[in-house]
Amino acid sequence: MKRRDFLRNSTAIMGTMAIFGTAIPQAVLAQETPVTGGTLIWGHSETTQNLDIHQTGTASSSRVLQNVHSSLVTVDADLNVIPDLAESFEVSTDGLTYTFKLRPGVTFHNGAAMTSADVKYSFERCKDPATGAVNFEVFNNVASIDTPDDLTVVITMSSINAPFLSRLAENGAGAIMPVESGPTQGTNPMGAGPFKFVRYEVGTVVELARFDDYWNGPAFLDGVLAREITEPTTRLTGLRTGELHMINDIPLDRVSELQGDASLQVKTWFPLNFDFINMNHTYPPFQDARVRVAFDMIIDKEALMQGALWGQGATSPSASFPTGAAFNKSLVQRPQDIEGAKALLAEAGHPEGSLNIVFKATTNYPYHIETAQILVEWFRMAGVNLTIEQLTWADWLSQCWVDKDYQMTMMNFFTLWESDFLYYSVWNSKGAYNYRAINDPIIDQLTEQARITVDNAARADVYKQVQQQIWDQSHDIILWFRNGTIGAQPSVKGLDSVVHPNGSNLNFHKVWLAA
């Protein structure tokens, strides 16, 4: 079916839902005893960028590196913070002191035993501006890191930072690496995870090998080959021919087809990530909230989701996890109102035909290109000339993320279930992920207030106010949450253990291959 026909004929309305299931051939359902051996060949949908877990801001790199590193703490299935490399942790009643007891006998990939000195080194490196760590602000309130003995770490805060523990559990902030290993992490990542780094051929493959001395028991697989195959059809063909054991990101228009194929396993879950349209706030038209709101009014989010995602997701006016306490349920998407948008643009000094916007979209996410193509017609109807510039992933990161050289773009964020990570990093004027140059004093004040609000319910209410401000000002146009998908050969076992509770990271510690 052509996309235009799909959009014309699509009438299904997909509300917020929860999906976490696996379609598995009946022959696979029998309980089997795991066996050791074999290399899993994974068709990775994205290009790995930076191998230094402190510096990387991309989920593509994190999915690989999370198998190389272990963190001081992690989260369980309900996103509660639990010990990982720490055996236990305590927080003082005033919220200013964190004491971690480390697991004895943890070994790094270089054979060195992990001690408190490694924790101190890792956290001070992440905090150091010279490192260029994306999670530097996690440690802004850290006054001191003391190591009274080899297995004890005491972190003292200069002021309360209520989300500190949960921030350590996400996106590499709590990853522990050997003392003085920082300079080589970008070319030879080293940690205490279940797999050790072997090699990286840029844009082609990352190879990992089982680390037999992993503290939580060795993996079953001999290794993992993460083959970088960004073209969806090529990735799917590799799975069908048996060249690949597993792929993530099944082409969105083929998910239903594969779910009906008894020869393959299909795993889907909700959500994988949220998508939003970005407007560069340094570009004069977008410094006017009326223009941003008008652009929001141009878009029919449900039709766009059906057309670009083939229904594999659910629209949302908020970037907060749909099941999280901080999700602002009172927000609703602005309905499409072309005439209202035209009037608002004219009021802002942009009559029909006068506004020309370049939309930079990365081919790394084909549905971003499809989204932009659908938007062109709606924007034409509203009197805005929208043109598309297609970029490779590397060029998008260089131009949009680093240089902020764009007018309008689109991006998705993964693993931002933790509200401080989400709202401080992405919308605070000092946030590491604020590549749109948003500078809203109300959001800055609220995200700082949340950090010193110890009561969980009260902190959730603060984040609901942040969401309201983002929506009121249309700082970004939040579109939807997208489903996650994995396709695998029947020989891949332990597939239910792969997806991290954050919905994005993949872990191969408990995966095995049938003989």
Q: Specify the amino acid at residue 8.
A: R
30: domain CATH number is: 3.40.190.10
- Let me know whether 25 and 139 are in one domain: no
Cis previous bond, 25, omega within 30: no
- Let me know whether 129 and 254 are in one domain: no
| In-domain check, residue 223 | yes
88: domain CATH number is: 3.90.76.10
DSSP per-residue letters across 65-96: HTTT--BSEEE-TT--EEESSEEEEEE-TTS-
Q: Among 148, 179, 210, where does a domain finish?
A: 179
Domain extent, residue 310, equals 273-482
End-to-end Cα separation, the chain, in angstroms = 39
- Let me know whether 135 and 85 are in one domain: yes
207, 223 contact by CB (below 8 A)? yes
279: domain CATH number is: 3.10.105.10
Look at residue 98 in the predicted model and tell me its pLDDT: 98
- Let me know whether 349 and 242 are in one domain: no
| In-domain check, residue 377 | yes
| In-domain check, residue 9 | no
- Let me know whether 356 and 465 are in one domain: yes
- Let me know whether 342 and 462 are in one domain: yes
Look at residue 170 in the predicted model and tell me its pLDDT: 84
- Let me know whether 250 and 116 are in one domain: no
Q: Among 159, 179, 199, where does a domain finish?
A: 179
Number of domains comprising the chain: 3
Look at residue 31 in the predicted model and tell me its pLDDT: 54
- Let me know whether 283 and 405 are in one domain: yes
- Let me know whether 258 and 281 are in one domain: no
User: Distance of CA 87 to CAs 54, 104, 174, 294, Å?
Assistant: 23, 8, 14, 52
Ordered alpha helix ranges (H), 94-168: 116-127, 164-168
b/e sequence 400-418, b meaning 16+ C-beta within 10 Å: bbeeeebbbbbbbbbbbbb
| In-domain check, residue 240 | yes
Torsion over CA: 372, 376, 381, 386 (sign)? positive
| In-domain check, residue 4 | no
Which run of H or E residues covers position 476? strand 476-488
pLDDT tens string, the chain, 515 residues long: the values are 344 444 444 333 333 333 344 444 444 444 589 999 999 999 998 888 789 999 987 778 888 999 999 999 999 988 899 999 999 999 999 999 999 999 999 999 999 999 999 999 999 999 999 999 988 989 989 999 999 999 999 999 999 999 999 999 987 899 999 999 999 999 999 999 999 999 999 889 999 999 999 999 999 999 999 999 988 899 999 999 999 999 999 988 899 999 999 999 999 999 989 999 999 999 999 999 999 999 999 999 999 999 999 999 999 999 998 888 999 999 999 999 999 999 999 999 999 999 999 999 999 889 999 999 999 999 999 999 999 999 998 899 999 999 999 999 999 998 678 899 899 999 999 998 999 999 999 999 999 999 999 999 999 999 999 999 999 999 999 999 999 999 999 999 999 999 988 888 899 999 999 97
- Let me know whether 168 and 299 are in one domain: no
Look at residue 56 in the predicted model and tell me its pLDDT: 86
Look at residue 503 in the predicted model and tell me its pLDDT: 87
| In-domain check, residue 175 | yes
40, 491 contact by CB (below 8 A)? no
Whether the model clears a pTM of 0.75, i.e. scores above it, the answer is: yes
511, 493 contact by CB (below 8 A)? yes
- Let me know whether 283 and 409 are in one domain: yes
| In-domain check, residue 57 | no
- Let me know whether 205 and 223 are in one domain: yes
**Residue 389, number of CB atoms within 10 A of its CB:** 15
| In-domain check, residue 473 | yes
Look at residue 502 in the predicted model and tell me its pLDDT: 86
